[in-house]
Amino acid sequence: MNVQDAEKMAALLEPSGYETTDDPGRADLILVNTCSIREKAAQKIYSQLGRFRTLKEGNPRLRIGVGGCLAQQWGDRFFRRAPYVDLVFGTHQIHRLPEMVGELERTRGRIVETGFYDRVRSLGIPAQLAAGAVGTFVTIMQGCNNFCAYCVVPHLRGREESRPLPEILREVEMLAGHGIREVTLLGQNVNSYGQTLPEKTDFAELIGAIGKVSGMERIRFTTSHPKDLSARLIACFGGVASLCEHIHLPVQSGSNRVLRRMNRGYTAAAYREKVAALRRACPGISITSDVIVGFPGEEEGDFQETLELMREIRFDNLFSFQYSEREGTAAVGMDRPVCDSVKRERLRMLQALQEEHTLEKNRACVRRLEEVLVEGPSRNGSEDMTGRTRGNRIVNFPGTTGLIGKTISVRIVEAFPHSLRGEMEERGGADVH
């Protein structure tokens, strides 16, 4: 979500003459895109802002803006702790950036804009953005109505609001026309897409429509709430050729007691059943997940149930977090908080187990022929190129930059904990995903 917001900000400011730079020392404008989903990110922001303050002392033209969830949440409180900040803009104000930055150029004042809009705006991605990129994101809905007890998103991003299907389709067609080959549809809970629209539609219909866009070779989406994962969506895997065989399906916990306290709306058994249905519809589908450890009231037995669920399902990858209390959420002040050292230890155990599973899954790819969409030069310090399989695994292989944006067949020769190594096959299609 944040990467996409940052891309949008850059694109929106380009017509005003701004270009992105990797060197903050050369910048006239620094926009810090914040996240408050977890406490750590929130803590880091002031130390980062402090570093930019030093730059401001050497460059009086420099303006500093803070956007994203924390800006939405804290508003003008930012000025109190960081008086050198010039602009604070909320998650619903990104489209107004050119206007706000223009005002900053003209005045030396400070601006705070954190109002909510009642409708999701299309930001109309300029063609320049698409140039050179292989994949990009498209927001299909904003906000969330779920109110999971730990989560700040519904409080900060407001109620769920879907963008009309034809508008999304036009955007995807435009992206395909500019050479984008992969689109990731974004929403906090894509499974409830369409519920706020006057016309009757759903996420499966949207995927079906995007599946027909010529040139858009791959569709991905995130995030899917298990309670709303429909049979219609499950049937899209295998049914829509460009839909990649990967789903991110956050489970959060393997214990029913904890899931109930989290207000997740499903049981561990129901989750297992959804996974089984996905695997029946699409054998070999990659399944990734999120888990929170140390939610208030999580006892050793609950944690063991999470490990048990992991052992049984064997996620292809897992993002795991220590629970952190977020202002305004239902879990604030819940009884039986878990102490930090226990949270840390649980996280360590869980990550060690997942590492085994990830490696095991990566090893199972060895000798397989995989379809890889080539993204660019590898970051592994060699001459290799890099791309992703349909199951979302990174593959490095010897190749040339002429392959960027192409879908090729790669024979996997070696597996590592976080990537695969392969060799391009001259001919023939990929066997599975």
Residue 154 binds what, of ligand SAH, ligand SF4, none (CB under 5 to 8 Å, by partner type)? ligand SF4
158 with 147: CB under 8 angstroms? no
Q: Does 207 bind ligand SF4 (CB under 6 A)?
A: no
CB of 81 to ligand SAH, least distance (A): 22
Residue closer to ligand SF4 by CB (options 79, 147) is 147
Q: Does 144 bind ligand SF4 (CB under 6 A)?
A: yes
Print the binding letters for residues 208-247 with ligand SF4: x by CB under 6 A, - otherwise: -----------------x----------------------
Q: Name the β-bridge partners of 345.
A: none
Residue closer to ligand SF4 by CB (options 188, 389) is 188
Contact positions with ligand SAH (CB under 6 A) in 316-375: 321, 323-324, 326
Distances (CA, A) of 30 to 14, 85, 165, 282, 291: 14, 10, 34, 45, 33
Pick from 72, 139, 188, 386 the residue near ligand SAH by CB under 6 A.
Answer: 188
Whole-number Å distance between alpha carbons of 52 and 62: 9
Whole-number Å distance between alpha carbons of 67 and 33: 5
CB of 406 to ligand SAH, least distance (A): 32
Strands 385-389 and 394-397: antiparallel
Pull the structure tokens for residue 277.
């249905």
CB of 97 to ligand SF4, least distance (A): 24
Q: Strand (E) positions, 37-170?
A: 63-68, 87-89, 111-113, 135-139, 141-142, 161-162
Closest CA to 191 of 220, 158, 229, 160: 229
Q: Does 139 bind ligand SF4 (CB under 6 A)?
A: no
Q: Does 286 bind ligand SF4 (CB under 6 A)?
A: no
Pick from 146, 242, 289, 358 the residue near ligand SF4 by CB under 6 A.
Answer: 146
357 with 310: CB under 8 angstroms? yes
Pick from 34, 93, 162, 189 the residue near ligand SF4 by CB under 6 A.
Answer: 189
CB of 67 to ligand SAH, least distance (A): 18
CB of 102 to ligand SF4, least distance (A): 33
Pick from 12, 13, 82, 151 the residue near ligand SF4 by CB under 6 A.
Answer: 151
160 with 225: CB under 8 angstroms? no
Print the binding letters for residues 291-320 with ligand SAH: x by CB under 6 A, - otherwise: -x----------------------------
Residue 290 binds what, of ligand SAH, ligand SF4, none (CB under 5 to 8 Å, by partner type)? ligand SAH
Whole-number Å distance between alpha carbons of 387 and 405: 9
Give, for 350, the enclosing helix (H) or strand (E).
helix 340-363
Residue closer to ligand SF4 by CB (options 325, 423) is 325
Residue 74 binds what, of ligand SAH, ligand SF4, none (CB under 5 to 8 Å, by partner type)? none
DSSP-H helix ranges across 59-113: 69-74, 77-81, 97-106
Whole-number Å distance between alpha carbons of 176 and 138: 12
Counts of helices then strands in the chain (DSSP H, E): 14, 17
Distances (CA, A) of 272 to 139, 227, 276: 28, 12, 6
CB of 137 to ligand SF4, least distance (A): 16
Residue 158 binds what, of ligand SF4, ligand SAH, none (CB under 5 to 8 Å, by partner type)? none
Pick from 151, 262, 285, 287 the residue near ligand SAH by CB under 6 A.
Answer: 151
Contact positions with ligand SAH (CB under 6 A) in 189-208: 189
Q: Does 416 bind ligand SF4 (CB under 6 A)?
A: no
Residue closer to ligand SF4 by CB (options 116, 147) is 147
Distances (CA, A) of 281 to 39, 232, 274, 320, 390: 38, 11, 11, 27, 16
Whole-number Å distance between alpha carbons of 56 and 344: 38
User: Which residues here bind ligand SF4, judged by CB under 6 A?
Assistant: 144, 146-148, 151, 153-154, 188-189, 225
Q: Which residues bind ligand SAH (CB under 6 A)?
A: 37-38, 150-151, 153, 188-189, 223, 225, 250, 252, 290, 292, 321, 323-324, 326
